[in-house]
């Protein structure tokens, strides 16, 4: 937790009430975003995102596997987050492990929706090579390098950028396999299929401080929150997932208002992120 004096707490809370935060932003303004893609050469796709002093990396590794027997027509996605002990003092020891687990579960829920797969921002059926026999397993790893609040949104943006940078090798399946026989496959080292990120969402976290809520909260602002609601929304305006932190209850009408605000902010974030991703990809090709 961030240690603040009573005066600093009043300053943060008063600024938010007057729609003028301590760093000069309005309540619904996000910090400038910096995006770099292709930062890990061994991965199928990777990206680094900075939002203010929050710095995160995401990488995607694709491996051939076998579909789940209960979902033979879908591939698998596993999300794991690691908080570097050097990112913040609270990440040392069990504090970092607990936050890593919490972020991993929240990202999985925001990207893949419910257990049924409804609302999923990643089309798992597109990962199937041979139904019931072969699929792609995507392992998405996130690393928190530096933390100054709003980790979930930053990791969500980094994952979207990393998936945009991801190339899935082309697979040729040999004919002739029958029944339960596992077909032979040839994985190309030269031909790659670009991963479709048109429905991959961004995450917008609305943090309630006093009577108001803000987006892209800093660590100091998060220390004064009573609750936070994270909503993942894609370009089509579909809600892919929703999570809540904090013990205070919420009236349904407030949640609907938060969703409306999140839709507006997510549109701005997606446009900003897409332009940064395009610029980063262009720079990568030139180099």
The three-class DSSP label of residue 131 is coil
CA end-to-end span of the chain: 41
Residue 227, Cβ density class (10 Å: 0-12 exposed, 13-18 middle, ≥19 buried): middle
Question: Residue written as tokens 């961030």?
Answer: 2
pTM over 0.85: yes
* Confidence (pLDDT) at 287: 59
Angle of helix 252-286 relative to helix 151-164, nearest 10 degrees, comes to: 40
Mean pLDDT of 148-165: 94
Residue 131 and residue 72 in contact, taking contact as beta carbons nearer than 8 Å? yes
* Confidence (pLDDT) at 114: 58
Could you give the CA distance from residue 112 to residue 196 in angstroms, rounded to a whole number? 15
| Residue 176 in this model has a pLDDT that exceeds 90 | no
Tens-digit pLDDT profile for residues 190-204: 888 888 888 889 999
Alpha helices per DSSP H over 229-251: none
32-46, 114-128, 155-169: least confidently modelled range: 114-128
Between 87 and 287, the more confident residue is 87
Alpha helices per DSSP H over 124-173: 151-164
Could you give the CA distance from residue 78 to residue 173 in angstroms, rounded to a whole number? 25
The three-class DSSP label of residue 85 is coil
* Confidence (pLDDT) at 271: 93
Q: Kindly give, in sequence order, each residue whose CB lies less than 8 Å from that of residue 115, ignoring residues fewer than 6 positions away.
A: none
CATH number, domain 7-286: 3.30.230.70
Confidence of residue 31 (pLDDT cuts 50, 70, 90): very high
Could you give the CA distance from residue 211 to residue 213 in angstroms, rounded to a whole number? 7
Sheet with 227-233, strands from edge to edge, namely 212-215, 202-209, 227-233, 239-245
| Residue 237 in this model has a pLDDT that exceeds 90 | no
Confidence of residue 168 (pLDDT cuts 50, 70, 90): confident
* Confidence (pLDDT) at 173: 79
Could you give the CA distance from residue 280 to residue 286 in angstroms, rounded to a whole number? 10
The per-residue pLDDT of the chain, averaged, comes to 86
Could you give the CA distance from residue 18 to residue 106 in angstroms, rounded to a whole number? 31
**Six-digit token string for 204:** 């917008």
Mean pLDDT of 43-61: 94
| Residue 115 in this model has a pLDDT that exceeds 70 | no
* Confidence (pLDDT) at 16: 93
Confidence of residue 285 (pLDDT cuts 50, 70, 90): low
**Six-digit token string for 107:** 């990202």
Mean pLDDT of 240-258: 82
Residue 117 and residue 22 in contact, taking contact as beta carbons nearer than 8 Å? no
Mean pLDDT of 185-192: 80
How far, rounded to the nearest angstrom, does the alpha carbon of residue 194 sit from its chain's CA centroid?
Answer: 19
Q: Kindly give, in sequence order, each residue whose CB lies less than 8 Å from that of residue 128, ignoring residues fewer than 6 positions away.
A: 67, 73, 74, 75, 134, 135, 136
* Confidence (pLDDT) at 29: 94
Could you give the CA distance from residue 147 to residue 78 in angstroms, rounded to a whole number? 23
* Confidence (pLDDT) at 215: 95
């Amino acid at each position: 937790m961030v240690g603040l004096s009573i005066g600093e707490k009043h300053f943060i809370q008063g600024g938010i009430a007057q729609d003028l935060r301590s760093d000069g932003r309005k309540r619904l303004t996000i910090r400038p975003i910096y995006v770099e893609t292709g930062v890990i050469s061994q991965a199928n796709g990777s990206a680094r995102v900075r939002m203010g002093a929050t710095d995160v990396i995401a990488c995607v590794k694709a491996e051939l596997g076998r579909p789940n027997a209960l979902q033979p027509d879908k591939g698998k996605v596993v999300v794991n987050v690691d908080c570097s002990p050097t990112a913040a003092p609270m990440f040392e020891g069990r504090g970092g492990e607990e936050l890593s687990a919490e972020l991993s579960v929240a990202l999985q829920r925001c990207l893949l929706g419910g257990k049924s797969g409804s609302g999923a921002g990643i089309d798992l059926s597109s990962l199937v090579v041979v139904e019931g026999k072969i699929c792609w397993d995507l392992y998405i790893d996130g690393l928190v390098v530096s933390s100054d609040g709003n980790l979930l949104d930053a990791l969500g943006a980094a994952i979207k950028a990393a998936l945009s940078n991801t190339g899935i090798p082309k697979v040729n399946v040999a004919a002739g396999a029958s029944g339960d026989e596992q077909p032979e496959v040839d994985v190309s080292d030269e031909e790659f299929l670009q991963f479709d990120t048109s429905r991959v969402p961004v995450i917008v976290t609305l943090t309630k401080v006093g009577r108001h809520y803000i987006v892209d909260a800093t660590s100091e602002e998060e220390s004064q929150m009573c609750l936070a609601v994270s909503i993942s929304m894609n370009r089509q305006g579909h809600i892919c997932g929703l999570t809540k932190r904090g013990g205070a209850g919420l009236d349904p009408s407030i949640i609907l208002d938060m969703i409306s605000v999140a839709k507006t902010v997510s549109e701005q974030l997606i446009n900003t992120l897409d332009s940064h991703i395009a610029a980063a990809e262009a720079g990568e090709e030139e180099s």
